Copies of this chain bind each other. A is one copy, B any other.
Amino acid sequence: MSKTRRFIGTPTDRPATPNFERTPLMPAIAQDAVSGEVLMLAWVDQEAWKASMETGFAHYHSRSRNALWKKGESSGHVQEIVETRVDCDEDAILYIVNQTGAACHTGERTCFYREGQAPQ
């Protein structure tokens, strides 16, 4: 694991495992390890978490295909995991990654490329 950047922070407690028994499918945030940008939000189950930990590349569970999904498998826009975090309730995940190419399927660097608009 590389040295901690400012926006990553330093873990202040022992490592934790996501609680997939309670939450079989949980949201996972991908954050760019270099820029700090939030790149995308997707979903992770136990299989995807295991695959991420074993390979060092971010895996998710595709809800549309109901299948394990290695990010960038077809596009080449893989996410090399630099660090991971688990939240206080063990039901949300943070992947801090080195992003190859665009994180978003639209070709944008991040999926969050638009400002939020108030209800009309």
Contacts and interface: CB of A to CB of B under 8 A. Distances in A.
Given A13-B113, A113-B12, A119-B17, A87 B36 contact: no
- The dominant DSSP class at the A interface is loop
Contacts of A110: 9
Interface string A82-120: 011111110011100000000011101111111111111
Interface of A: 6-9, 11-18, 27, 29, 31-32, 35-38, 40-41, 46, 49-50, 53-54, 83-89, 92-94, 104-106, 108-120
23 contacts: A7-B36, A9-B109, A9-B112, A9-B113, A12-B113, A12-B114, A14-B114, A15-B114, A16-B114, A17-B119, A38-B85, A41-B92, A50-B119, A53-B116, A85-B116, A86-B115, A86-B116, A86-B117, A87-B111, A88-B108, A88-B111, A94-B112, A94-B116
